[in-house]
Amino acid sequence: MKLLEYASKEVFRRFGLPVQEGKLAYTPEEARRVAETLKPPYVVKAQVPVGGRGKAGGVKLAHTPEEVEEKARHILNLTIKGVPVKKVLVTEAADIAHEYYLGVVVDRRNNQPVIMVSAEGGVDIEEVARTKPEAIHKLAVDPIWGLSDFQARQLAFRLFQDKKKALKAAGIIQKLYRAFQEVDAQLAEINPLVETPEGELLAVDAKIVVDDNALYRHPDLEQMRDMDYEEPKELEAKAADLSYVKLDGTIGCCVNGAGLAMATMDVIKHFGGEPANFLDIGGSSRPEKVIKAMEIITSDPNVKVIYFNIFGGITRCDDVARGLVEAFRTMEVKVPLVIRLTGTNEEEGRRILEESGIPLHTARTMSEGAQKAVALAQQAG
């Protein structure tokens, strides 16, 4: 789960990292009122889950609350990398002498967190990594021992010659690492870490990505989940214990097991179709889950055909069949449905479907089902 800048800063604040005063606003007027409680000058910043907001015009300086209102009006009308801006963060502006980069990320190859620092901050760090890799200093941290003070100081001295500043930066690196570890982050990043003309250091931008698998340990962070930007159907699916990811194609998929779901999408693509979603109904197949899955899939207007690919193990084919019959009884299904049902209780499942008389295209194999689904999607245009 990606935390937006304002939420990431909230977390940083808890860990004692230096961040500017500021507050969220949903309207230009609200932005002005926030500014009235702060010291000028101000920055108005689009809160969207994508980077490069500055370049896209989503970060603007303002000198008066009226100007904040004007800038907020402009930014709230922007769409940045396909994401419409729904709220802005209004903060006190920092004076910038230099911009640095600080980040902690999980290095999957070495199974260790890696700290990265660079004096080339503010800009896209991937760009720096490509064009000037020597400008990024890295340190792998042993997760058991943690980050020692001397290691943090070593990194800090890569950025600052002045001892006082380096020690201050070392403290910030330590706090960033602590925050990263305590919230079970996959990424915690400050870009830029700003040095002011007075020699202060400030986290001007913040980004935290929390490992979804650890969210149950952080109900407070779960609350920061941004409903403004989440796909509502994905949340609904999560509540029903289904894994659903919306995609852009026309073939709605309903599968049991993540591996089979991936394979099904591959096979659909192999035969020239495009999946409309990834949907894993999971191991147990209570009929209610199948009904919910049908509701979610059919609510996507792009779906031209539905493909059920069920390989019964713990999942029982008769349960899936009952769920489908119930779904057809309670909702109007306007698109054709292809089903491949095999494994535990498959005869029982087939019998239930046949007796129900619901309109189905059946298939014996995954490939056959995918081909039928692709053909039906093409017929539907």
Footprint of ligand GDP on this chain (CB under 6 A)?
Answer: 43, 45, 51-54, 59, 93-94, 96, 99, 122, 191-192, 204-205
Which of ligand GDP, Mn ion, none does 48 bind, CB closer than 5 to 8 A by kind? none
Measured at the CA of 329, the angle between CA 323 and CA 334, to 5 degrees, comes to 100
Taking CB within 5 to 8 Å according to partner kind, which of Mn ion, ligand GDP, none is near residue 52?
ligand GDP
**Nearest distance from residue 350's CB to ligand GDP, in Å?**
54
Q: 205 or 280: whose CB is closer to Mn ion?
A: 205
Please select the residue that binds Mn ion; options are 205, 280, 318, 346, rule is CB under 5 A: 205
From 83-91, 107-115, 205-213, 363-371, span contacting Mn ion (CB under 5 A): 205-213
CB of 215 to ligand GDP, least distance (A): 24
Binding-site partner at residue 358 among Mn ion, ligand GDP, none, CB < 5 to 8 Å by type? none
Asked if 99 interacts with Mn ion (CB under 5 A), we say no
Residue 221 contacts by C-beta under 8 Å, 6 or more apart in sequence?
A: 1, 3, 11, 183, 210, 215
Given the complex with Mn ion, which of 31 and 204 has the nearer CB atom?
204
42 has catalytic annotation: no
Taking CB within 5 to 8 Å according to partner kind, which of ligand GDP, Mn ion, none is near residue 369? Answer: none
Using rule CB under 5 A, residue 191 touches Mn ion: yes
Instruction: Please give the residue whose beta carbon sits closest to ligand GDP in the complex.
Output: 54
What minimum distance in Å lies between the beta carbon of 92 and ligand GDP?
7
Closest to ligand GDP by CB, 69 vs 189, is: 189
Q: CB-based burial of residue 342 (10 Å sphere; 0-12 exposed, 13-18 middle, 19+ buried)?
A: middle
- Is 5 a binder of Mn ion (CB under 5 A)? no
Nearest residue to Mn ion, by Cβ distance, number only = 205
- Please state, as a whole number, how many other Cβ atoms lie within 10 Å of the Cβ of residue 358: 17
Taking contact as CB under 5 A, which single stretch among the options 35-43, 136-144, 190-198, 220-228 is the one that binds Mn ion?
190-198
**Closest distance of CB 35 from Mn ion, Å:** 21
26 is catalytic: no
Check 6, 42, 101, 177 and give the catalytic one: 101
Give least dist CB 46 to ligand GDP, A.
8
Which one of ligand GDP, Mn ion, none interacts with residue 349, CB within 5 to 8 A by kind?
A: none
Size of the site for Mn ion (CB under 5 A): 2
From 189, 195, 244, 307, the catalytic residue: 189
Kindly give, in sequence order, each residue whose CB lies less than 8 Å from that of residue 55, ignoring residues fewer than 6 positions away.
none
In angstroms, give the least distance from the CB of 204 to ligand GDP.
5
In angstroms, the CA 351 to CA 288 distance is 20
Return the number of the residue (179 or 265) whose C-beta is nearest Mn ion: 179
Least separation in angstroms between residue 13's CB and ligand GDP is 16
- Choice between 83 and 96, CB closer to ligand GDP: 96
Q: CB under 5 A: which stretch of 149-157, 203-211, 319-327, 340-348 binds Mn ion?
A: 203-211
SS3 readout for the chain: CEECHHHHHHHHHHCCCCCCCEEEECCHHHHHHHHHCCCCCEEEEECCCCCCCCCCCCEEEECCHHHHHHHHHHHCCCEECCEECCCEEEEECCCCCEEEEEEEEEECCCCEEEEEEECCCCCCHHHHHHHCHHHEEEEECCCCCCCCHHHHHHHHHHHCCCHHHHHHHHHHHHHHHHHHHHCCEEEEEEEEEEECCCCCEEECCCEEEECHHHHHHCHHHHCCCCCCCCCHHHHHHHHCCCEEEECCCCEEEEECCHHHHHHHHHHHHHCCCCECEEEECCCCCCHHHHHHHHHHHHCCCCCCEEEEEEEECCCCHHHHHHHHHHHHHHCCCCCCEEEEEEECCHHHHHHHHHHHCCCCEEECCHHHHHHHHHHHHHHCC
Give the residue numbers marked as catalytic: 101, 189
List residues near Mn ion by CB under 5 A. 191, 205
